[in-house]
């Protein structure tokens, strides 16, 4: 069997196990979980899900790194993309975001730096959404012209 078939089978098995875990968590009920009666069961399932997530992330990173090392033009394009993202992030943080210390509803205080990070994240999201929309619009117009 090739690697793709093995990975499909593993994904199906993990999916079936996940459905079983979800069913057992849902059968415990919200009130039992809030009361702590089935917290041990939920904690075990949470640790299992965290470990599965960690394994999936590690596998994706391994295949990505192996693919980038073997393909130098892909590595160059990836580094250009990461560099552009970092530059845009820095522009949003230092150029657009401003931090104001403010109080939260629960009585805690949000620092000026935390406020500036949140503002920079919002500006970065807006810029990336605008760029993605412009690219889709550009390709759509280009396709209509042809």
What's the length of the chain?
A: 146
On whether both 44 and 107 belong to a single domain, the answer is no
Strand partners, 109: 103
Three-class SS of residue 109?
strand
On whether both 55 and 85 belong to a single domain, the answer is no
Give the C-alpha separation, 73 to 84, whole Å: 17
pLDDT digits (tens, 9 = 90+) for 92-133: 999 999 988 988 888 899 999 999 999 999 999 999 999 999
pLDDT digits (tens, 9 = 90+) for 8-23: 888 888 888 888 877 8
> Torsion angle, CA of 29/32/33/34, rounded to 10 degrees?
120
Which of 92, 123, 97, 96 is CA-nearest to residue 112?
A: 97
Neighbours of 92 (CB within 10 A): 20
| pTM of the model as a whole | 0.61
Give the count of alpha carbons within 13 A of 58, CB side only: 6
Give rounded-to-5 percent helix, strand, coil for the chain: 85, 5, 15
* Domain that residue 14 falls in: 1-70
Strand partners, 110: 102
Domain boundary among 54, 70, 86: 70
Cβ proximity of 42 and 24 under 8 Å: no
On whether both 78 and 57 belong to a single domain, the answer is no
On whether both 77 and 145 belong to a single domain, the answer is yes
Mean pLDDT, range 11-36, rounded to an integer:
76
For residue 136, with 0-12 CB atoms within 10 Å meaning exposed, 13-18 middle and 19 or more buried, which class applies?
A: exposed
Share of the chain above pLDDT 90, in %: 39
On whether both 56 and 79 belong to a single domain, the answer is no
């Amino acid at each position: 069997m090739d690697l793709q078939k093995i990975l499909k089978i593993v994904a199906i098995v993990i999916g079936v196990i996940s459905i079983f875990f979800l069913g057992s968590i849902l059968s415990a009920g919200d009130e039992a979980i809030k009361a702590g009666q089935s917290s041990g069961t939920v904690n075990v399932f949470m640790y299992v899900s965290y470990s599965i997530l960690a394994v999936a992330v590690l596998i994706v990173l391994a295949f990505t790194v192996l693919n980038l090392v073997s393909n130098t033009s892909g590595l160059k394009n990836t580094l250009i993309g990461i560099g552009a993202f970092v530059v845009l992030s820095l522009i949003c943080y230092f150029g657009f975001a401003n931090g104001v210390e403010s109080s939260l509803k629960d009585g805690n205080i949000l620092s000026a730096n935390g406020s500036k990070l949140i503002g920079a994240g919002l500006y970065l999201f807006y810029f990336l959404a605008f760029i993605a929309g412009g690219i889709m619009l550009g390709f759509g117009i280009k396709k209509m012209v042809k």
